[in-house]
């Protein structure tokens, strides 16, 4: 989450910059819920500037293994 905020400090927030996020947002450290919620909010607010791809950690089978599913 904080790495993503730092990225926005360098590149600017949408709509100032375009972003493509490549997946695996949850189960990769702390604050997975905050990370995915912020990404969804940005996608809703700036659909032409924010693009979100789903990684394998966003699938039900992987989230069950790593605990995010609960």
Which residues does the annotation mark as catalytic? 57
Rounded to an integer, what distance in angstroms lies between the CA atom of residue 17 and that of residue 42? 12
Rounded to an integer, what distance in angstroms lies between the CA atom of residue 17 and that of residue 68? 30
C-alpha R_g of the chain = 12
């Amino acid at each position: 989450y904080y790495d993503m905020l730092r990225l926005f400090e360098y590149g600017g927030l949408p709509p100032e910059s375009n972003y493509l996020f490549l997946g695996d947002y949850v189960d990769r450290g702390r604050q997975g819920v905050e990370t995915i919620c912020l990404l969804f909010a940005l996608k809703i607010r700036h659909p032409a500037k924010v693009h979100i791809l789903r990684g394998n950690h966003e699938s039900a089978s992987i989230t069950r293994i790593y605990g995010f599913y609960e």
